[in-house]
Amino acid sequence: MATPNLPTPSDARPEVTGFFDGQTNTISYVVRDPASCACAIVDSVMDIDYAAGRIAFEHADRIIEHVRRHGLEVEWLIETHVHADHLSAAPYLQQELGGRIGIGERIVQVQDTFGKVFNEGTEFRRDGSQFDWLFADGDRYRIGTMEAFAMHTPGHTPACMTHVVGNAAFVGDTLFMPDGGTARADFPGGDARTLYRSTRRILALPEDTRLFMCHDYGPGGRDIRWETTVAEQRAQNIHVHDGAGEDDFVRMRSERDATLSMPRLILPSLQVNMRAGHLPPADDSGRRFLKLPIDAL
């Protein structure tokens, strides 16, 4: 059955191509309308050599080559949330391929939180205006002939959205593959109880809905995977399978999160991604800098 208070998923079956980034274990997607040349790009990656302070676009260039080779037209550049483990390449892809950059409307809450963490001045706008579109819960949009909608699924961050495109859903960090469980919920604005309720919202989609992960770490040494289904998650997810209780989940998630280190790229990622993938403004010399706040997270 359809998730309560949301549109019913359409019958479309988008063509989904995944691009795995081994440096951050991120999967980006090109989501194509099979009835046209229209597509969307979900959760792109900008390469960074953090120690050297250098950025590059090898991962994004793979996506550009795919889009051009297949004659596709990019309509959307979707960010499922403000990522803490990789930098977005959305502005670079937009420059090369077009499309509108979209994220959940709660980005303003994330910008307010991390604008303070990084001591950004008043010139850093906390209204989401760096993005072309802010999605609200239940918002409908189109990719070519396909109808899609956005579903608010917070808990990992306040602005997390799941994007449902026909029989496919892009869940960001809310869920991992069944043997990986769920995302952490201890970042500022995160909440384990809210995360549990968001997973139930996703798992109320039709059982044959294809679910596409933003990350996979190959637990136990298995091959990297990024596609599963609602039915598989409900039966096998180690954290939120059918019958897994909310209080037990909150206890487990909170205890586990207390043992986790911060992601290696969290500080550069947040500064860039809260700006829709743009680097901080240059100073008077024309150079750009990323900040390293001490004991802020």
Helix axes 90-97, 58-69, angle to 10 degrees: 30
pTM given for the model: 0.95
* Average pLDDT rounded to a whole number, residues 46-50: 96
* Average pLDDT rounded to a whole number, residues 25-39: 98
d(CA 150, CA 162): 6
Confidence of residue 4 (pLDDT cuts 50, 70, 90): low
Strands 73-78 and 54-56: unpaired
Identity of the amino acid at 209? T
* Average pLDDT rounded to a whole number, residues 46-52: 94
Question: 296: which 2 tokens?
Answer: 């802020």
Q: Which residues contact 34 (CB under 8 A, 6 or more apart)?
A: 12, 13, 14, 15
Question: 214: which 2 tokens?
Answer: 């933003």
* Per-residue model confidence (pLDDT) at position 2: 44
Percentage above 90 pLDDT, the chain: 93
Q: Which residues contact 251 (CB under 8 A, 6 or more apart)?
A: none
